[in-house]
Amino acid sequence: MTNRRNFLKSAGLAGAATLAAPAVVRAQAPIKWRMQTYAGAPLRQFVTQPFVDAFNKAANGEMEIELFFADQIVPTGELFRALQAGTIDAVHSDDDSMAAPVEVAVFGGYFPFATRSILDVPVLFQQYGLSEIWRDAYAKAGGVVWLSAAGQDPCHFNTKNPIRSLADLQGLRLYTFPTAGRFLTQFGVVPVSIPYEDAEVAVQTGELDGMSWSGITEDYTVGWANVTNYFTTNNISGAWIGSWFANEKKWADLPEHLKQLYMSCMEASHTFRNQWYWGGEAKLRATGDKLELTTVPAAEWAQVEAAALKFWDEIAAESELKAKVVQIFKDYNAVINKAGFPYANG
């Protein structure tokens, strides 16, 4: 009985102490990441911001991503190194523009005629094995994790003067991607590399004759349709191949549920861009009032398509891995050519 009284007394004192001094619950500080996109300020709200907004809301205070636009923290050409060093934590860009030191970088952005439409990109990555190839390539480079690739707009020409024949390409100073520029030089194009935000002014000052960077949706969205006069309906690629990357250590340190949330929001953002670009390309060609449409005749444009196949073989000869990727493009294009584009009836 004495022992029971002592126990109750002790328990009562402990309980009183607990009530008198309640535990202080401290909120854990959110994980904070800095992300830079290839896109300038007007464009980022459509191509990258939807992901950031969705993730930050769903993370419920556990993690916050701050988004920076093109060249805001580092120049686009230094994105890989900055991501690898941890200067930034995540990137949305194409491999080509960010100068990724991997063999597959040449295929990012606009690899000539590798795709015909925006949905070709996820099909190539998910059904034809490009995801595994990209993931392994960045794992070997170290410090950067490749997460996903998605399609965006096709690569056309918007210029001050009309392009109605291949001869009109001669001497054109165009803002374009590294690999696209390398391909287009054989037709007399002079590729110009400048910061994204400077391209519009460069057209106004005469430094540029136009851009071979995007489809018509971007031309109107970012203001390029205000400084150029013509849009050429022929393209050199049906879709931009862009990817999402993270610093390797930062990604490894994320809790699994945040990794899953990140991937889910990212994939949802791919769907948003699909409809935004696809619908914009049609609507602005049909109803846009700033750019006059011009076309190089199909028989003449066939020379560019033939040159692309030769370009593919030149790239394939550079390494076994590049040859593997080029073969995937050939296999896929054989399928869609046989099916009829876009998949003929009857």
Question: Are 332 and 124 in contact, with CB atoms under 8 Å apart?
Answer: yes
Model pLDDT for residues 237-273, shown as the tens digit of each residue: 999 999 999 999 999 999 999 999 999 999 999 999 9
pLDDT at 344 over 80: no
298/345: higher pLDDT: 298
pLDDT for residue 154: 98
Q: What value does the mean pLDDT take over residues 141-155? A: 98
Helix (H, G, I), strand (E, B) or coil at 68: strand
Question: Are 109 and 97 in contact, with CB atoms under 8 Å apart?
Answer: yes
- Local confidence band at 105 (pLDDT 50, 70, 90 cut-offs): very high
Pairwise CA distance, residues 149 & 273, whole Å: 12
Strand 155-159: give its sheet, edge to edge. 190-192, 173-176, 210-212, 155-159, 230-237, 292-294
Model pLDDT for residues 206-237, shown as the tens digit of each residue: 999 999 999 999 999 999 999 999 999 999 99
pLDDT for residue 341: 74
Burial of 199 (0-12, 13-18, 19+ CB in 10 A): buried
Work out the mean pLDDT of the chain and round it to a whole number.
93
pLDDT for residue 15: 47
Contacts for 317 with CB less than 8 Å, ≥ 6 apart: 323
pLDDT at 12 over 60: no
Model pLDDT for residues 295-322, shown as the tens digit of each residue: 999 999 999 999 999 999 999 999 999 9
Pairwise CA distance, residues 139 & 252, whole Å: 13
- Local confidence band at 13 (pLDDT 50, 70, 90 cut-offs): very low
- Local confidence band at 23 (pLDDT 50, 70, 90 cut-offs): very low
Pairwise CA distance, residues 13 & 9, whole Å: 6
pTM for the model: 0.89
Please provide the size of the chain in residues. 346
Rg (CA), the chain: 26
Give the DSSP letter of residue 237.
E
Pairwise CA distance, residues 45 & 275, whole Å: 15
> For a pLDDT cut of 70, what percent of the chain falls above it?
91
pLDDT at 17 over 60: no
Pairwise CA distance, residues 68 & 56, whole Å: 15
pLDDT at 99 over 80: yes
Burial of 344 (0-12, 13-18, 19+ CB in 10 A): exposed
- Local confidence band at 345 (pLDDT 50, 70, 90 cut-offs): low
pLDDT for residue 175: 98
pLDDT for residue 3: 52
pLDDT at 1 over 90: no
Q: Tokens 């294009």 belong to which residue?
A: 333
pLDDT for residue 6: 52
